Amino acid sequence: MIQFFKTDYFIARPPQDVYWFLSDFRHYFDQLPEFHGAQLSTDDTPVAPGKRYVVRTTEEAHEYETHVCMLRLDAPTLIEYEYRYRHKNGDTDVSPMPWEKARVTMRLQAYRNGTQVCTQMHVFHVKGFINRWKTSALKAACARTQKSANENMVSVAERALTVK
């Protein structure tokens, strides 16, 4: 297991609202520019451990789709999910990344007049020198774009929760 990133951001809304928003990808997926052109699918079951989402792109170059599974949910303080890549034509794992799967843990804490979100991502089964080197290079690239991704999430969350 390798820590891929750790980041914090503040959302000016109470923890229970932020938890509601972040615990279900359907609340924000299509509003984030990072997912432009991708499609999210899931069933109508409530958000709970075991709930699954599938992210598909329409690009022909991508032979994979992303499978997300909710692992732990402890309202309003913890959201944890895992994702891995699967071939579009079946259940075979195929990863465009140098790891087999990733786990994201979000810890939410009341802070001032809102919620501090502390997020960590760990990657699993990185084997071999080349894959460790690729992971290190991706980690550096991700660190450069994380600030923008955080700003996008905060903006989308605060806008959506104001309307809620």
- For 122-159, what is each residue's pLDDT tens digit? 999 998 999 999 999 888 888 778 888 888 898 999 99
Residue 37: its pLDDT value, please?
84
DSSP for 26-57 reads GGTGGG-GGGTTEEEEE-SSPS-TT-EEEEEE
Q: Which CATH architecture has domain 2-163?
A: 2-Layer Sandwich (3.30)
Distance CA 19, CA 15 (A): 6
Return the domain boundaries, the chain: 2-163
pLDDT at 164: 63
End-to-end CA distance of the chain: 38
Rounded Cα distance between 84 and 69, Å, is 9
Which of 67, 72, 122, 69 has the alpha carbon at shortest distance from 99?
122
